[in-house]
Amino acid sequence: MGFTLAELNEADVPDFVAALGGVFEAAPWVAEIAAADRPYATVQALFAGLRAAVEGVDAARRHALLVGHPELAGPAARSRSIAPASIAEQEAAGLDRLSEAEYARFEALNRTYRERFGLPFILCVKRHGRASLLRSFEARLASDPDTERVTAEAEMFRIAAIRLDSLVTGEGGLRTTGRLSTHVLDTAAGRPAEGVAVELLEWVSEGEAALVTRAVTNSDGRTDHPLIGGRPVPIATYELRFRIGDHFRRTGAGLQEPPFLDIVPVRFSVGDPEGHYHVPLVATPWSYQTYRGS
């Protein structure tokens, strides 16, 4: 369910708060304050209004806002007694499917963090793969309280921006999404390679790759939908696996068995979740090239 910017500009305050009360965790008061400054010309302006509301309150209340966030893979999350948006975000990051050992690790990290900074660890999990999430957690444990409060608020605003962007349609969106796409060309035949099975995996830890998605190229050599789209591309190391050997078996170009090339792995990292990563494969039975395209 979503809203248009126009609807939100015209809604009475209770409806406005009902719509946007969840953008900041457990803090409908942010929307309540921002409601007064309507109308907003763009979604960006609306987000700036919410941000100003947060920045306008006293230090205690700002601190409470951070404290109100649930821990990652914490008890509250496990018992699903947190905001629906948080549940969805943590599930998307696979935090609801951790092994007991991993839960234990998160519990230890959460405890240490809370003791050190008096806050729950806040991170925009939609922008991180599993390995990156743990790297960030450990890196931030080494930070100092002042820097860390700034970082935590920045992450809170990132979470809010993504939630708002998915709730509201209208002028001047917040560009909180990236894209990962591919394209397979057969330069032995001078044609797009159709029907090539492609797997996208994420390296969740040293030596462990988890399947993200599967697709098959269409008559234009592309997948019908981006491999990742409509959301940030999590910061992670990925591997695309192209079953190019099967393609050349079909076209009859791959004469010998075993073929020189069969499954082609392409490993790359994403550091900019809002970026567009186009990773094509230009192949013959005896060669291939890949690059960051556009």
Nearer to its own copies, 68 or 259 (CB): 259
- Min separation Cβ 235 and its own copies, Å: 8
d(CA 24, CA 248): 52
Alpha carbon separation from 193 to 44, 160, 198, 220 (Å, rounded): 41, 41, 12, 7
Nearer to its own copies, 81 or 269 (CB): 269
- Min separation Cβ 271 and its own copies, Å: 5
CA within 13 Å, CB half, 270: 29
Q: Kind of pairing, strands 3-4 and 168-169?
A: parallel
- Min separation Cβ 204 and its own copies, Å: 15
Nearer to its own copies, 69 or 241 (CB): 241
Q: DSSP letter at 235?
A: B
Nearer to its own copies, 22 or 221 (CB): 221
Contact predicate 177/231, CB 8 Å? yes
Nearer to its own copies, 164 or 184 (CB): 184
Structure tokens at 259: 């073929």
Q: Where do contacts with its own copies occur on this chain (CB under 8 A)?
A: 183, 185, 187-192, 220-221, 235, 237, 253, 256-265, 267-272, 282, 284-294
- Min separation Cβ 12 and its own copies, Å: 42
- Min separation Cβ 184 and its own copies, Å: 10
Structure tokens at 16: 């406005």
Residue 141's φ and ψ, nearest 5 degrees, are -60, -25
- Closest by Cα among 84, 275, 72, 46 to 155: 72
- Min separation Cβ 194 and its own copies, Å: 10
Nearer to its own copies, 33 or 282 (CB): 282
d(CA 124, CA 126): 6
Nearer to its own copies, 83 or 240 (CB): 240
Contact predicate 178/233, CB 8 Å? yes
Contact predicate 45/34, CB 8 Å? no
Q: Kind of pairing, strands 276-278 and 178-181?
A: parallel
- Min separation Cβ 81 and its own copies, Å: 35
